[in-house]
Structure 1
Amino acid sequence: MGTLDGKTCIVTGGAGSLGLAAARLFLAEGANVALVDLAPQALAQAAADLPAERVELIEADVSNAGDAARYAKRTVQRFGPVDVLFSNAGNFGTVSSIKDYPEDVFDAVQAVHVKGAFLAAKFVVPVMRDGGSIVITSSVAGVRGDAGVYAYITAKHAQVGLMRCLAKELAPRGIRVNTIHPGPIDNGFQLAVEQGLGAAIGADGTEFFNRIIPLGRHGRPEEVAKSVLYLASDQSSFVTGTTLMVDGGMSV
């Protein structure tokens, strides 16, 4: 018997490595999963080997209110009320001095991370069962600061504030709300981050991160997904309003 038997889960950023790893775990634990992503082709490829009878693929822009309302409605129509929302969609932006940081890039990053998580809660909470769980993907960047990473770090801090507000409001319904804070993950998203950082600092971005992670390596999507499953399931039944670090000690 799985820890999520018969439960309905929404995963935004579902075509990415962490979203897909979490979806696989949710399915293995008995859940039905709506995978939401902006890129339909990538989403279809990512889900090619998943059980179609328990997966709904939804193309959506998480920063658009109409799209958020639509993915919430489609999920309920297919599987019933929502038990787990994994708000995981993200983009990075760029690394630049404050005087040169592009305003449009800053706005685009806030739109996906902050407004996207806000809209997910706004439209999913009304169709969520009492006792459910919301997990928002923040980052180790959500508890620290680094010069030049203005859009991403600001957005990741903002998600923590959103989480704490939701945790207070939804506690009477038994809905738990937490953020998960991965460190660098071995995936394409992180590689793009490190390439940008490397260009800015004139050094290998991947090696730079490995040197400042006490465990000395990047995490794997599957490792982080196990912590997402913990927060999504009743294993964390008395955990809400928390920032769970899954960063190899980078925040220490």
Structure 2
Amino acid sequence: MTSNQHNNPLSHFLSANLFDVAGLVAVVTGGSSGLGLYAAHTLASNGALVYILDLVAVQADITSKESLTAAREFITTDLAQQGKKGIQTLICNAGIGEKFLRSYGQDPPSVPNPKSQAEKDREFGEIVDELWSFSESDCAAILNTNVTGNYLTALAFLPLLKAGTSPDYLSQTILISSNAAWAKVPLLNPIYNISKTAVSHLGQILSTMFCDHGLRTNIIEPGLYPSDLTSTEGRDETTGHGKLSHTNGADIPIGRCGKPEEHASAVLYLASRNSQFANGTRMRVDGAALQKLPASD
């Protein structure tokens, strides 16, 4: 802090202090691309020590207790060598979407000319066939990664979060869910929606179970952002950030997908030292896309 800031009675309202993460230790799963990479970049760029868990970086299979335990022990040892113990933030970001369902079966109210019974019957058959085309392994893969994987990750790092918590910073888990958690139409496919509903509710459960133990849990529910899951346009060669020049057909009032820095800003707020009062918070950052869909929240 500069001398001018010391003399400023409102210096704690300066952005550098409001969103301070310098010196904090964070673990990010799925941090090699997409939303995880945006989170890792914003934390590291602002002075946090970041460990990325992925198939590269610190290797970890989030669906395996053994793999997660090994990753936790690696980080524990590495921190000890730096004279540190514990972490302050765990970002559970890893997830998959699998197949994209195209027959939603519900046109927006603005579409004129109601469908004939024959058209409805044909559409019904298409939807049933497409839903049934999801194999047991398709369903299991989504649920295993998005639900079981995030659940096991959150549990595996509780000891490190507890070791890193203090009255000045209550350690936390940030679960990256999706606005799909509350949409009544499939945003990718129904199993993906279901998995994200589970992730959002997992955040509420963990927040309640550990709020008296000096630990927090918060949830971010992003909408459409550039990632390997949503785009085939590749990545920026310098930053590795995804590219997405359209909305994938989604009715987003702002007329575009989210920018990497818009997701990063949500992460930076929750991870900062001035978010201590946020516990059990669900933050939706989707450009109001969910406001244009039938939804339960």
Q: Which TM-score band (shorter chain)?
A: 0.7 to 0.9
Q: Deviation at 1:116?
A: 1.2
Q: Deviation at 1:173?
A: 2.4
Deviates further, 94-103 or 161-170: 94-103
**1:122 and 1:232 mapped to 2: Cα distance?**
19
Q: Which residue of 2 aligns with 1:47?
A: none
TM-score normalised by L of structure 1? 0.82
> Which residues of 2 match residues 15-94 of structure 1 at below 5 A?
15-38=32-55, 40=56, 57-79=57-79, 80-94=85-99
TM-score normalised by L of structure 2? 0.70
**1:207 and 1:187 mapped to 2: Cα distance?**
12
1:159 counterpart SS class:
helix
**1:106 and 1:177 mapped to 2: Cα distance?**
27
Q: Which residue of 1 aligns with 2:217?
A: 177
Q: Deviation at 1:242?
A: 2.0
**2:260 and 2:229 mapped to 1: Cα distance?**
11
Greater Cα radius of gyration, structure 1 or 2 = 2
Q: Deviation at 1:244?
A: 0.5
Deviates further, 131-140 or 182-191: 182-191
Q: Deviation at 1:207?
A: 4.6
Tell me how large the CA RMSD over aligned residues is. Answer: 1.7
> Which residues of 2 match residues 62-211 of structure 1 at below 5 A?
62-79=62-79, 80-96=85-101, 97-128=130-161, 129-130=164-165, 131-147=170-186, 149-191=189-231, 206-209=247-250
**2:265 and 2:285 mapped to 1: Cα distance?**
10
* Structure 2 residue identity aligned to 1:92: G
User: Is the Cα contact below 8 Å between 2:147 and 2:198 reproduced in 1?
Assistant: yes
Give the % identical residues.
Answer: 30
Residue by residue, what CA displacement relative to the aligned partner does 1:127-186 show, whole Å, maximum 9, x if unpaired?
212211211110110121324712211110000111111000111123221111111112
Q: Deviation at 1:235?
A: 2.5
**2:215 and 2:272 mapped to 1: Cα distance?**
11
Q: 1:84 to 1:207 in 2, by over 3 A?
A: closer
**2:65 and 2:24 mapped to 1: Cα distance?**
25
Q: Which residue of 2 aligns with 1:54?
A: none
2:154 counterpart SS class:
helix
User: For structure 2, which runs of at least 5 residues remain unmatched after alignment?
Assistant: 2-15, 80-84, 102-129, 233-245, 292-297
1:234 counterpart SS class:
coil
* Structure 1 residue identity aligned to 2:210: L
**2:219 and 2:227 mapped to 1: Cα distance?**
20
**1:145 and 1:229 mapped to 2: Cα distance?**
30
Q: Deviation at 1:5?
A: 2.2
**1:83 and 1:222 mapped to 2: Cα distance?**
22
* Structure 2 residue identity aligned to 1:121: A
Give the helix-richer structure, 1 or 2.
1
The one of 272, 284, 287 equivalent to 1:233 is 272
Q: 1:173 to 1:37 in 2, by over 3 A?
A: same
User: For structure 1, which runs of at least 5 residues remain unmatched after alignment?
Assistant: 41-56, 193-204
Residue by residue, what CA displacement relative to the aligned partner does 1:80-108 show, whole Å, maximum 9, x if unpaired?
31110000001111134332222101111
**2:211 and 2:145 mapped to 1: Cα distance?**
25
Q: Which residue of 2 aligns with 1:45?
A: none
Q: Does 1:242 align with 2:259?
A: no
